[in-house]
Structure 1
Amino acid sequence: MKKTVATLADGRELIYYDSGDDTVRTAVDPRPLTPVVSRSEIRHDALTGDNVAVASHRQARTYLPPADACPLCPSRDGRESEVPEESYEVVVFENRFPSLSGGVGRCEVVCFTDDHTASFADLTEERVALVLDAWTDRTAALSALPGVEQVYCFENRGQEIGVTLPHAHGQIYAFPYVAPRTAAMRRRIDEHRAETGRNLFDDVVARERADGERVVLETEHWIAFVPYAAHWPYEVHLHPKHRVPDLLALDGAARTEFAQVYLELLRRFDRIFGPDEPPTPYISAWHQAPFTDARREDFGLHLELFTVRRASGKLKYLAGTESGMGAFMNDVRPEDAARRLREVASA
């Protein structure tokens, strides 16, 4: 992997990741941009303990532009974008409309391909490996920034999810606090250790392997299953079999096998509802241990992949009990979801 660091016209950092060591990146951003002035504010909810980012500058962010005005496509044919080069493999840059900024974290955009019409599932295994390298490199860099407690890499697809740019991309958030879902996991890790003397993630994976009914696929280094108490209609958790706290700790064998496993999961998601259904909207989220956690080795790195589509032509909208109280009700039995995901395996 070759890494080339550049600067956009307004001072934001941009990084190219290329598979070939001989790739040269020299294009300069010619746009007459003024420096981005954005400052997020973190407010603490006294009732729940949650932190809430207030970022009013994001109201002006780009929203579903036409293909010929996509800011994530490369700059070519006289059209200038966020990426000055005429082509790229993987590129990461600071978000122009960040939710976290001004010394309270950082938000970055990750573009997986310069092909505007492609999705992640269309990538080659070699490109997925490069994306994994980029996620890992940015995790290392962002975790070293002052005040950063957790690094979160994720990908969204589909307007149903809330995606505002259709070009295949994801984001990386460097949180100045531990996200609520991770904090809840952290509490359960400690409770489980106190109750059993064992690691929570190890026991969850062992239970799913022993039961087998919710396992979607299993390889030498990875296991994917629908969780026993899945929140979403079709939800899969992907764990390395050797527990590690973050992407930095993944060994070479697991990294090599990841591309094949992840692409297979994404392609199965697109086949859940049949060939006539549009691409399945989804969120794909890496859960890593907070870097400020003294007991972070107890955490289990894993990826959570889920869709809000519950049936052909039907979406799961959060009900009042779910949005208002966080009390989830699933429309699909997890065992049925797992069976369907096994049925649509690649031949």
Structure 2
Amino acid sequence: MKKTSTRLADGRELLYYDLRDDAVRTTTDPRPLDAVTTGSEIRHDPLLGDAVAIASHRQGRTYLPPADACPLCPSRPGRPTEIPADDYDVAVFENRFPSLAGDSGRCEVVCFTPDHHASFADLDEEHAALALAAWADRTAELATHPAVRQVYCFENRGEEIGVTLGHPHGQIYAYPFVTPRTERMLASAAAHRARHPHQNLFDDVVTAERADGRRTVLDTAHWTAFVPYAAHWPYEVHLYPRRRVPDLPALDDAARAELPGLYLELLRRFDRLFGPGHPPTPYISAWHQAPFHHPHRTEFALHLELFTVRRTPGKLKFLAGSESGMSVFINDVPPEAAAQRLREAATE
């Protein structure tokens, strides 16, 4: 992997991640862009303790442009984009409309492929490994940012999820606080440790799922994928390395080598869930990583949460009154049935 750092016309950082070590990236951004100005602000909810990002400048962000106006495709003569080169393997750049910026953190866009009509599942293993390596590299780099306490790498796919750009891409949010979801997991882990001083909650969950087996989707030498016992979403898979690590940069060589093929298999099974003739499955792919400088950082377990809002062909799982108002999820698909369907999707 070769990494090249450059700047866009408005000063934002752009990084190319290339498979070839001899790749040369010298194309400059010809656009007459003004410097990015943001109004990002972090406010705290006194009742829930949550942090909320107020980012009014995002109202004007690009929304579902046609393919010939996509800002994530390579640049063409007369049509410059966010990526000045006429081709790329993986490109990462600072978001032009960030939810977090400056002392409030940082937001980046990760373009997996120059092919506007592809998806992550269409990549070969070498290219998928490069995209995953870029996420790990950005996590390690953003850990040095003085304002950042946690890095979240994720991909939203599908208009049903709320995607505003159709080009296959992911994002990285570098938060200046520990997210509420992670705080809850850390609190649960601490309570488990108090009850069982020599045990780890994440390890025990994975061990229990592997022993039960009914919800296991994939079990390899270095990774385990399963539908959780109390799954929130109709089809939801959690993927854990067999050796607990806090984040992507901490994976050992063996786990890192096995991950691309395993991740591609899960994505392809999601696309086969609802049978031929149905549109691609919308999903969120979320990497949960330990916060930096936390006293219990090493007790946290890196894991992927992959889920879809589609519960059956033509029907979506909406967050209605119970979920949105009280954060109590109601799942119409039994986790054991979801796991069985995902196992069957391997042979279709």
**Pairwise TM-score range, normalised by the shorter structure:** over 0.9
Matches for 1:173-322 after TM superposition, within 5 Å: 173-197=173-197, 198-322=199-323
Q: Shift of residue 346 of structure 1? A: 4.2
> Which whole-Å CA distance do the structure 2 matches of 1:328 and 1:150 have between them?
26
Which residue is 1:139 aligned to? 139
Root mean square deviation of aligned Cα: 0.7
Q: Shift of residue 44 of structure 1? A: 0.5
Please say if 1:343 is aligned against 2:340.
no
Which residue is 1:129 aligned to? 129
> Which whole-Å CA distance do the structure 1 matches of 2:66 and 2:101 have between them?
28
Which residue is 1:94 aligned to? 94
> Which whole-Å CA distance do the structure 2 matches of 1:346 and 1:302 have between them?
25
Whether contact under 8 Å (1:39, 1:102) holds in the other structure is: no
> Which whole-Å CA distance do the structure 2 matches of 1:39 and 1:251 have between them?
40
Q: Shift of residue 78 of structure 1? A: 2.2
Which residue is 1:82 aligned to? 82
1:324-347 per-position Cα deviation (integer Å, ceiling 9, x unaligned): 110111010000000000001047
Which residue is 2:152 aligned to? 152
Q: TM-score, normalised by structure 1?
A: 0.99
**Residue identity opposite 2:247 in structure 1:** D
Q: TM-score, normalised by structure 2?
A: 0.99
Structure 2: 5+ residue runs without aligned partners? Answer: none
> Which whole-Å CA distance do the structure 2 matches of 1:346 and 1:283 have between them?
23
**Residue identity opposite 2:342 in structure 1:** L
**Residue identity opposite 1:269 in structure 2:** F
**Residue identity opposite 1:149 in structure 2:** R
Determine helix, strand or coil for the equivalent of 1:317: coil
Whether contact under 8 Å (1:268, 1:346) holds in the other structure is: no
Q: Shift of residue 242 of structure 1? A: 0.5
Determine helix, strand or coil for the equivalent of 1:57: helix
Q: Shift of residue 248 of structure 1? A: 1.1
Which residue is 1:168 aligned to? 168
> Which whole-Å CA distance do the structure 2 matches of 1:258 and 1:83 have between them?
28
**Residue identity opposite 2:165 in structure 1:** L
> Which whole-Å CA distance do the structure 2 matches of 1:7 and 1:335 have between them?
49
Which residue is 1:21 aligned to? 21
Whether contact under 8 Å (1:264, 1:346) holds in the other structure is: no
Which residue is 2:116 aligned to? 116
Percent sequence identity over aligned pairs: 70
Distance 1:36 1:122, change over 3 A: same
> Which whole-Å CA distance do the structure 1 matches of 2:104 and 2:31 have between them?
27
Q: Shift of residue 292 of structure 1? A: 2.3
1:259-306 per-position Cα deviation (integer Å, ceiling 9, x unaligned): 110000000000111101100000000000000211100000000000
> Which whole-Å CA distance do the structure 2 matches of 1:196 and 1:231 have between them?
26
Whether contact under 8 Å (1:10, 1:34) holds in the other structure is: yes
Whether contact under 8 Å (1:39, 1:100) holds in the other structure is: no
Return structure 1 stretches of 4+ with deviation > 3 angstroms.
none
> Which whole-Å CA distance do the structure 2 matches of 1:21 and 1:334 have between them?
44
